[in-house]
A and B are shown apart, each in its own frame.
Chain A
């Protein structure tokens, strides 16, 4: 049996159309079991359009800062490897020169120069880490939080290269043995993924403030930047604030009162 070129194309084309049409017909006629699944939110959940934070350095002392950092790291099972090479950090103290490079000067106040500034992920409105992530493991939520989906992270570390704030840490080693006391309610990470501050999305979902804010005795103000009546907006109205490397166009959501 011979078949002409023309006949072959006809049959191939018809098969493709029937095949593809058949698949989509099955999908349309038989939707998945979860298509109609009902979901809802905790009625107590804090809902915002763009979460942000103000760090009031006038109100911070070193003791409070340590408490805030420890609260965060304890709740989120952040390991302590005891060496700076493997260090994992979500929120940490930084000198003025490192936090705001280019803004320091030879004659600036020594007190400010040596003050530890509390830095964390800036939850940028235009996050460069999200742009480079090849698997969408890091993405921006509708409420402005730059989220990490650990299930998808492949550990390529593009996001770490893209983040101008060094807010991301890579798990070079299995973190489990280095967690002092495990919080059973929150997962740990595994070797080979990148982690960072997620603005306590899991606490916001049940109506709690971020852990660092709770421990900060009012030195950290958390709220919705998009809501003109929020406390954070009133603080931003009343004070002169600066942001870290805002000239890069990342639109950070963390503001500093010096």
Chain B
């Protein structure tokens, strides 16, 4: 092999750079997953604190639910969602979801920032004012 030592040093440097992020984090605990806050005035008022669907479902499937909601409302013109427990909800991000979850920064953004996802809801939908009711 011509210039073997140069090639080997090159490979070592490359492996060093490529594995740096993994080695750097080795042994460190992962940052704790964020706890979205639900202590808004609207939610405090509720006798039984529950969302449209059970919490575990909302945690993993809220994006699917919202995606379906927008298609049902905008494209199919069906405006009321009947939840698993038979309760009816108006299909609306700002007028149903955010009426309770009026703390976007502490609720939506906390996890979305942690997971580095950037939903573009708020390019158009008006986010509730922090602190006050909508």
Contact = CB atoms under 8 A, between A and B. Distances in A.
A25 B80 CA distance: 32
Contact of B79 (A34, A45, A151): A45
Contacts of A33: 61, 64
Interface stretch (A56-64, A78-86, A139-147): A139-147
A37 B125 CA distance: 25
**Chain B: interface secondary structure?**
mixed
A182 B134 CA distance: 12
Interface residues of B, number: 26
Contacts of A41: 77-80
A38 B76 CA distance: 13
B124 A190 contact: yes
Interface in A44-98: 45, 77
Contacts, number: 61
Contacts of A147: 74-75
Given A37-B68, A190-B123, A142 B81 contact: no
Interface string A190-208: 1000000000010001100
A183 to B, nearest CB: 8
* 7 A-B pairs with least C-beta separation: A38-B82, A190-B123, A39-B78, A187-B124, A205-B79, A40-B80, A187-B125
9 contacts: A33-B64, A39-B76, A41-B79, A42-B79, A147-B75, A151-B74, A184-B94, A190-B123, A205-B79
Interface of B: 61, 64-65, 68, 70, 72, 74-82, 88, 90, 94-95, 120, 123-126, 128, 134
